Amino acid sequence: MKFGIVINEGPYTHQASDSALQFVKAALHKGHEIFRVFFYHDGVNNGTSLGVPPQDDRNLTLEWSGLAEKHDLDLVVCVAAAQRRGILDEDEMGRHGKSANNLAPGFRISGLGQLIEAGIQADRLVTFGD
Amino acid sequence: MENGEGVVKKFCYINRKAPYGTIYALESLEVVLIAAAFDQDISLVFADDGVYQLTKGQDTDGIGMKNFSKTYTALGDYDIKKVYVEKESLEERGLSAEDLQALKYEDEDDDWAEKDSLFVIGREEMAKIIDEQDVILSF
């Protein structure tokens, strides 16, 4: 089956990102396809490369980046939600005249159309949030 | 539509939270406005505190937030014709249909006659409508 994944909450405060990560791993293990993972609302905060969680805890951003590299996942961060919350790639940094960028490897910034497309293309769109 | 390959699915956007206090209502509306360009079969559902999103006379001056309630009245221009509000959610909050903004669309198949796009329906019918959907996004 082809899954689309939506993550609506940031890391650590909510379990949404952890649950989605476990779901994606299990789905891939069973041979399913992940069409796209779309990060919306505070979910965009999963894409910051600047998080430094304690060493004895999981690092969700690193986990997503690693999984993306291993399985060629499409991790999409919503541009409008990201701009509000200070998640920028190099292009966005330049466009808005900011002094830094922080999008983690394996993530890309794009529009809400990517979410709708995931709904159209996937057999199931599964939302992780509150 | 690009990458859509002519597929038309039933998309339902369920709004369950108050318009202010959290950003879910505003960002849900942003999704809906983008989604309208994809030629899909769109329904909007307002239930629980989400019914407050459609109330008349919202005034956000005191909280310093953008009042985006007028945007709902523009949904008709985006060809969104099916907005379902749960009757029980209104009643539980001491609200009725009269407390809500009028939502209209112009029917191109009927000489652009203005028609209602907001329907207040009971919980059972709401369950049926949600059950018919292909894709549900809940905010």
pLDDT digit string, tens, across residues B20-69 = 999 999 999 999 999 999 999 999 999 999 999 999 999 999 999 999 99
pLDDT band at B4 (very low <50, low <70, confident <90, very high): low
Q: B1 pLDDT band (50/70/90 cuts)? A: very low
Chain B residues at the A interface, defined by Cβ less than 8 Å, are 3-4, 7, 9, 11, 23-24, 27, 30-31, 34-35, 37-38, 40, 134-139
Domain residues for A112?
2-49+57-128
Q: Which of A78, A79, A109, A125 is catalytic?
A: A78
State pLDDT tens for residues B74-97: 999 999 999 999 999 999 999 999
Residues 6+ apart with CB under 8 A from A121: A2, A4, A35, A36, B3
> How far, in Å, CA of A121 to CA of B2, rounded?
11
How is chain B split into domains, by residue range? 10-138
Residue A115 sits at the chain B interface (C-beta within 8 Å): yes
| Domain containing residue A96: CATH number | 3.40.1260.10
CA distance B6 to chain A (A): 10
Core vs surface per residue A35-53: b (16+ CB within 10 A) or e: bbbbbbbbbbbbbbeebee
Residue of A nearest to B12 (CA): A119
Give the pLDDT confidence score for residue B6 in this predicted structure: 84
With CB atoms and an 8 Å threshold, state whether B137 touches A6.
yes
Is A106 a residue of the active site?
Answer: no
Could you tell me how far CA B20 lies from the centroid of its own chain?
A: 16
A125 touches chain B (CB under 8 A): yes
Out of 3.40.50.1950, 2.30.110.10, 3.30.70.580, 3.40.1260.10, select the CATH number for domain B10-138: 3.40.1260.10
Q: Number of folded domains in chain A?
A: 1
